[in-house]
Amino acid sequence: MIPAPPTPLRQAPPDEGNAALSPEPRRRRLDRLTLGREVGAVLLAALALLVAIGAILGYGAARQAAYGEMRATVTTATTLLAQDEAVLAGVRADDPAAALAARADAARVAAGLDWVVVMDLDGTRWTHPDPERIGGQYLGHIEEARDGGIVVEEYEGTLGPSLRAVRPVLDEDGQVVALVAAGIRISAIHASVTPRLLALVAVSATALLLGMGAAWWVRGRLDREAGGLGRHAILRTLAQHEALLRSVRAGYVLVDPDGRVELCNDEARDLLGLEGEVSGVPIKELGLEPGLADLMASGRESEAEIHVAHDRDIVVAQVPEVHGRQRLGWVTTLADHTEMIRMTGVVSSQQTLIDALRARAHEADNRLHTIVVLVELGEYERAVEFATNTLRDAHASAERLQEAVHEPALVALLAGKASQAQERGVELRLDRLVVPATGMPAEDLVVIVGNLVDNAIDAAAEGEEPRWVELRGRRAGPGEGPWPEGVWPGGARPALGAPSEQFLLEVADSGPGLPEELVEQAFTRGWSSKPPRPDSEGWRGLGLTLVRTAVARLGGSIDVRREHGATFTVALPLGSAVEATCSPADAPKEVSG
């Protein structure tokens, strides 16, 4: 139904209601907040945030630079000491500790290091700033240096956490005879950042002061240009006007006596597929369907007429606007007819499940009748054996289906479809079907799978033997297309937990196939290759239309190609569970054959 135009709101008298709850004080406060003040505050807040972020990043860069400098210092110092002939000679002396003490201390002072340690290959110290530590075991990793490499690390030693480097001392033959380590305490690195931090604070404060001055100037300029009005005061009338238009839950088009658009709300733009500015444009130039364009341009009164616009059905009502004897124009109201199509899909999904359950019930009835006859004939053992085998086969089939299909509605559907196919002499192959838990609406999945399988069974039943319908399903990464041959060699199934972004479903049959020139036509409402049946009045030609609509709601796509017969491939995005608000106009247009 098309909603009626909104009734005017009654203006409450000044003394009606509780004056304490009146919004007037809040409105006055908002009016005092001028546009210049609001923009200035926003600019100032943004500037303060940028300055704070810049200060934090600057401090991080300064700290990183300090670390880089200290790393270069310890690395260079150990390199020079490891290549120093005096160090090599001290290592070879009878008392390395005494021979190396002066050289190590001089290098420490010259390079601004906190400590320099020359050690044996087992880590025994020969030098240390603290004489009591000489002869002790070096704290840190030296394995890579013993092998001829260099070690640079942060490690907590005898003087606290420090940034250190370790290099090997090589003799004339290139053999490692000792190790040299040098380090700077982490606290000293932090202290070196302080002068840079002070400079950064000074620059940030200066930038903030300049920004405050700029924000003050912008505030004054905007207040002068806007006449001292606030944003709420400027937009109040426009907001009320927009609210009235949006309160009409339908498209709303006002047309002047010359057949030109005066007003068109967002819903009408969407329903009619209009883009850009349309005010003042003649109705005939909007590119609408001829029937709809003639109605809207004529101004004649109409009620609940069905027309096509932008590839979807809409309900159109039109009322002339008359003042006295003067015709001022007319109002056209548009409503989407999509919801009826969606409900048709829901009914179709329920009908599909009912048909599947009816087939299962018919099969169970036949088996029960067989058991009853065997009991009546006195064949008790054969009756028990038949019942046991039937239950075992049904249980095994259900378990296999539940392991592969993680959507309960589809499990029930496919169990029934297997019985329907068997009744019509068609083999339903599910060995290559794996359906993950998609999170998509069950009715949409039932519509898609049920209608595709029904069409495939009908097509296979009309073909030559062997008659079969095969369902294939799997998770797939982005951009993966239709089924490659041999993707599951030997029938092996991929793991359900494998990362993917879409669910690919294929329904193939052994029927005569769908000619390429009929692919696009097959998805239009009312088209069917099947002869009409008395019990299917109103339902023929809806299956693929409902499939296309459901796929579009889920944000997927459909592809049609020919193998033995027709093969329909549906790609649905996983994890998104697109909200089912899409209309038939949003259905995939790139259906290919």
pLDDT of 17: 43
Task: Examine residue 532 and say whether the peptide bond preceding it is cis (omega within 30 degrees of 0).
Answer: no
250-336 matches 405-573 in fold: no
- Superfamily name with CATH number, domain 250-336: PAS domain (3.30.450.20)
**Does the domain spanning 34-219 belong to CATH 1.10.760.10?**
no
pLDDT in tens, 256-272: 888 899 888 888 888 88
Please report, for the chain, the start and end positions of each structural domain, with discontinuous segments joined by +: 34-219, 250-336, 405-573
Interacting residues of 267 by C-beta distance below 8 A, sequence separation 6+: 248, 249, 250, 251, 252, 334
Is it the case that residue 489 has pLDDT exceeding 60? no
Measured CA to CA, the distance from residue 315 to residue 491 in angstroms comes to 51
pLDDT of 228: 66
Measured CA to CA, the distance from residue 456 to residue 421 in angstroms comes to 10
pLDDT in tens, 347-399: 655 665 566 566 666 666 666 777 777 777 777 777 777 677 666 656 556 66
pLDDT of 1: 45
- Pick 203 or 357 by higher pLDDT: 203
The residues pairing with 566 across neighbouring beta strands, listed in sequence order, are 562
Grade residue 492 by pLDDT with cuts at 50, 70 and 90: very low
**Cβ 476 vs Cβ 424: under 8 Å:** no
How far apart, in Å, are the Cα atoms of 559 and each of 385, 504, 508, 568?
Answer: 47, 11, 12, 6
Mean pLDDT of 419-437: 83
pTM confidence score? 0.39
Is it the case that residue 18 has pLDDT exceeding 60? no
pLDDT of 114: 86
Annotation: CATH topology of 405-573: Heat Shock Protein 90 (3.30.565)
Grade residue 181 by pLDDT with cuts at 50, 70 and 90: very high
Q: Which of 359-363, 420-424, 442-446, 465-469 has the lowest mean pLDDT?
A: 359-363
Mean pLDDT of 147-152: 89
Mean pLDDT of 104-119: 87
Closest CA to 268 of 329, 310, 306: 310
Is it the case that residue 425 has pLDDT exceeding 90? no
**Cβ 184 vs Cβ 111: under 8 Å:** no
Is it the case that residue 587 has pLDDT exceeding 70? no
